[in-house]
Amino acid sequence: MTTPFKTSGRCRGPHLACLLALFLVGCDSETGGQQASNPPPPPVVTVAAPLKKAITEWYEFTGRFEAVEAVDVRARVSGYVEEIVFADGDIITKDAPLFVIDPRPYQAVVEEAEAALESARARVELADAELERAEELMDRGNVSRSTYDQRLQEKRVAEASVETANAALRRAELDLGFTEVRAPITGRVSDRRVDIGNLVTGDPNATLLTTIVALDPIYFAFDISESDFLGYQRAVNEGVLPGARDNGTEVQLRLPDEPDTETWPRFGRMNFVDNRIDEDAGTIRARAELPNEDQFILPGQFGRLRLPGSPEYEAILIPDSAIVTDQAAKMVMTVNAENMVEPRVIRPGPSYAGGLRIVREGLGTEDRIIINGLMRARPGSPVTPEEGTIEGPPAAAANDNASTAG
């Protein structure tokens, strides 16, 4: 009698495990097929039309402030310093006394020159009398012609000696006047370089006594690159901008401790552009003049200046963050009517306030560019656009200006 097959307890466990594994594999395969048949939706991006705004472009430059007038005050005659008539760092006016050099030796020279002049005038009087006497005697035939000519020459020599004595007196009076050193300009004086009792020398190795700088107005000197200068000159020749040499170009300035890049509290005008390009540096020297009534700015300080680079015009602005770089090209990602991503090559211009950038070419106000979600956008792929806007900076901050660093 045949015995029916029975499963032993030892092999029942492994068979159940195998059946459970096959069941799980089948479930995974079924689930995977469903996922493959349902692709993920297009990524969500934010799009906006470029901002159109009336702006003025500016060139920015770094430079130093310079004194309109600066004078090294030196002794013009030699002698001992007898008096100092100012306090270090004073604001002084033109012709104010500064130093007094012992005048007594020069006063003595003046008196000597005055005496020499009187002696010369006496010789002229004597020569006049001798000439008149010789003329009367020659008319009666008692004096020869040669004697008369001799008396005439003696008079001319005596008159010349008067002129020489006059010149010596004027020189002596000048030297006496130079013993009182006066301020040649109005401005702030530096500290004294000599003290009372020191011997100072005049020309040619004149002793430096102090310095004076004029503070109001004040110059700002800077260098313009050859390319920026060329572009500016073309705009001037086309009548778009005023010339920089005719004091008609207004500029704006700020100091290093005024960090708000959109604030330009000081104003001036261009008053000088050099006559040649520096061949080594490729720049041309320029200068502006600005008021300094409070005398807050000092010569030698650094500053920033901006010079108008265009008249006011309607510009297209986009965020800097929306621009991507592909090798040498700059581009933005646009979304067409079918919600497909299309790259667009642009020619960007200078930066604008609020993180915006001027676009010279490649975009119109009707285009929709991706301003958020660039990492999820791929050229030629669909996206789910959400409408956004490009916000310009507040009017007080932007002041409708774009700047290019020079």
Q: What is the pLDDT of residue 2?
A: 42
Query: CATH homologous superfamily of domain 59-68+217-308?
Result: Efflux pump adaptor protein, beta barrel domain (2.40.30.170)
The topology (CATH level 3) of 44-57+312-405 is 2.40.420
Q: What integer pLDDT is reported at residue 262 of this predicted model?
A: 61
- What pLDDT is stored for residue 25 in this prediction? 47
- Say whether 103-178 and 59-68+217-308 share the same fold: no
Domain boundaries, the chain: 44-57+312-405, 59-68+217-308, 69-101+182-213, 103-178
pLDDT confidence of residue 58: 82
The predicted pLDDT at position 403 comes to: 59
Q: How far is it, in rounded angstroms, from Cα 341 to Cα 333?
A: 6
pLDDT of residue 20: 45
Q: Which residues in the chain come in under a pLDDT of 50?
A: 1-25, 27, 29-30, 32-33, 396, 398
Classify domain 69-101+182-213 at the CATH topology level. Answer: OB fold (Dihydrolipoamide Acetyltransferase, E2P) (2.40.50)
Architecture of the domain delimited by 103-178:
Orthogonal Bundle (1.10)
pLDDT tens sequence across 227-260:
888 888 888 887 777 777 777 788 899 898 876 6
Please report the pLDDT score of residue 144 as a whole number: 72
